[in-house]
A and B are shown apart, each in its own frame.
Chain A
Amino acid sequence: MADGVLPIAAPDELDLSVDRAFRVPMGAVIVSVAVLVAVAIYSATSGAANLPVGGVIATLLDKLPLVDVDSSLSARQESILMQIRLPRMVLGMLVGGALGMAGAAYQGVFRNPLADPYLLGVSAGAGFGAVLALGFGLDVGWGPFGAVPAAAFLGAMGAVGMTTVISRGAWSSPATLLLSGVAVASLFSAAQTYALQQLNETRAREVLSWLFGQLNTSGWGQVAILGPYVVVCGFVLLATRRHLDVLRVGDDEAEALGLNPRAVRLWTILAASLLTAAAVAVSGLIAFVGLVVPHLVRLLAGSSYRVILPLSAVSGAAFLGFVDVWARTINAPAELPVGVITALVGAPVFALVLWSGARKA
């Protein structure tokens, strides 16, 4: 008795409800992946040069090793697909997936559905860094990292670092972290606004367009910058999702259950902030994805973070991939800032879902 656990007889079979507990619903996975694939096809074929669906698919299959398919695309069409269309699409999907997943992780760690990836000052810090780089020629670029992404990334991480210092690493007190985040974000926003005001109109316009978020890219450079962050941080976040479910009972009970809430919060915030900073560095400030996507996933597929985290990544990728097609085609050849459209599309959808949910309650 003294050493070891209480014996509990094993039943012949599991109760269905226990078997289902915390499992990711296959239906939701299939639907969201199907939507993502549909968005990918829509995105790859839409634009100034309309590419035929069959040709696009054949070209992509042909790129796979050991597969040899004849494509109907001309050489010019193929280079549009491979050098312009696909890099941009993949970048959009990576950014959307990163923001969706980081938002879900922040919501879990702060036990607050209103949390978003920009909460601890990432956006304000990145914005300030970008203003310095774009407007004042600050060049902290290094290797493959251009001046603007590098400055934005450093600004973002600097702001998050400052937030944790001000809160004295209060990993057991989400409220303290949140309030420190508010203070730091205000400070950086003010600095950013002041810096912006010192610029001439052309420069300021350039900075503003960065701040609104944009996925302008040529070639695969930015995908290569963001990719490793998505892989590493995504792995860390997926590894902590079970712990986020335990955290839902509150820090005290979670700790009594055998979890270390401070360690979970530290790792999750670290990975989510790094992921957000990397996404913001290559895309600017894209609003609303990190807040709305996890929320919609929660309403449609359940409240377990084991479900919300991966599905927010897939849905965020699909959402931003879809919205970016509009950003580059609606007003072609001019582009709309994708961050504006995410808010324009996201806000009403969000409002509608909340409204119908509130009516039920």
Chain B
Amino acid sequence: MSVDGLVCRDVSVMLGSHPALVDVDVTVQPGEWVGLIGPNGAGKSTLLRAVAGLAEFDGEITFAQRTPKPTDVAFVAQAPLLPDGMTVAEYVLLGRTAHLGWLQRESASDRQVATSVMRRLDLGDFGDRLLTQLSGGEAQRVVLARVLAQQAPVLLLDEPTSALDIGHNTAVLELIDELRRTDGLAVVAAMHDLTAAARFADRLTLLRRGEVAAAGLPSDVLRSEVVSDVYETPLTVAKVDDELVVLPARKTVS
């Protein structure tokens, strides 16, 4: 296997005295989307934070065979803080932080990058809007613009669509999907919506209490008995129009 992409090997994280991750292996190649799934508290966010350098870990995390830097991996928290009084253009420009020295200010080329990603995400007319005046879907696009302005080849997304309705949810995921296909971005996304995970991710890693319970193609991981066991509730995996759909199983009346 190529070692160009992001490689996590035997990654363990302790939060206090509680093991949040135990010997987790995940790899993702350029242009690939890996979905992290699992119940609340399974360690999805912790893994993303370790890769982003926000959590101490044991084991090995490399990108292109070296320790990933903010210019390699861009991270978006589950509910990104949108500061009061900050405009969309300013927020997108913050994505350039990793490219600036301590005493440097944004150059014309940094501003060009911001302009370019804003146009690309149809935010050209949004630049002067305040972050606090955006709808959920708009805000998510703006956050993506900030992430793209970072020009990192790996995107780490923690529940990128948790606050969106089904229409905007799909639109944002399709946008991410398009970006990774055209730009060869590697995407690692923690996802709660298993049906969306099945549709968009190339591979899934199912976590349970900090350990990998299953990993592989969506069709291999999303099997009724596996997910029912991990989520500790009866789930049915069905096929609709050739796509996997995960549903809570009907309660059987005995």
Contacts and interface: CB of A to CB of B under 8 A. Distances in A.
Interface stretch (B33-41, B116-124, B167-175, B219-227): B116-124
Contacts, number: 139
Nearest to A260: B102
Interface string A288-308: 000000000010001110000
B95 A303 contact: no
A256 B97 CA distance: 10
Interface in B80-137: 80-81, 83-95, 97-100, 102-103, 105-106, 108-109, 111-119, 124, 126-128
Interface in A196-247: 239, 242, 245-246
A21 B153 contact: no
Contacts of A19: 111
Contacts of A239: 102-103
Contacts of A303: 83-86
A164 B106 CA distance: 33
Nearest to A250: B81
B249 interface: no
A356 interface: no
B54 A5 contact: no
Nearest to A17: B127
B19 interface: no
B217 interface: no
Interface string A4-27: 011011110111111111100000
B54 A255 contact: yes
B150 interface: yes
B75 interface: yes
A15 B109 CA distance: 12
Contacts of A253: 75-77, 80-81
A298 B94 contact: no
B151 interface: yes
Interface residues of B, number: 63
A6 B152 contact: yes
A257 interface: yes
A18 to B, nearest CB: 5
A103 B70 CA distance: 31
A16 B95 CA distance: 18
Contact of A14 (B77, B83, B97, B108): B108
A6 B71 CA distance: 9
Given A15-B124, A249-B94, A303-B85, A256 B52 contact: yes
Contacts of A70: none
Contacts of B247: none
Given A21-B111, A256-B70, A256-B75, A16 B152 contact: no
B74 interface: yes
A51 B102 CA distance: 47
Interface string B165-190: 00000000000000000011100000
Contacts of A250: 77, 81
9 contacts: A2-B153, A16-B127, A17-B127, A18-B89, A18-B127, A21-B90, A255-B53, A255-B54, A303-B85
Interface of B: 4-5, 30, 49, 52-54, 63-64, 69-71, 73-77, 80-81, 83-95, 97-100, 102-103, 105-106, 108-109, 111-119, 124, 126-128, 148, 150-153, 183-185
Interface of A: 1-3, 5-6, 8-11, 13-22, 239, 242, 245-246, 248-250, 252-259, 298, 302-304
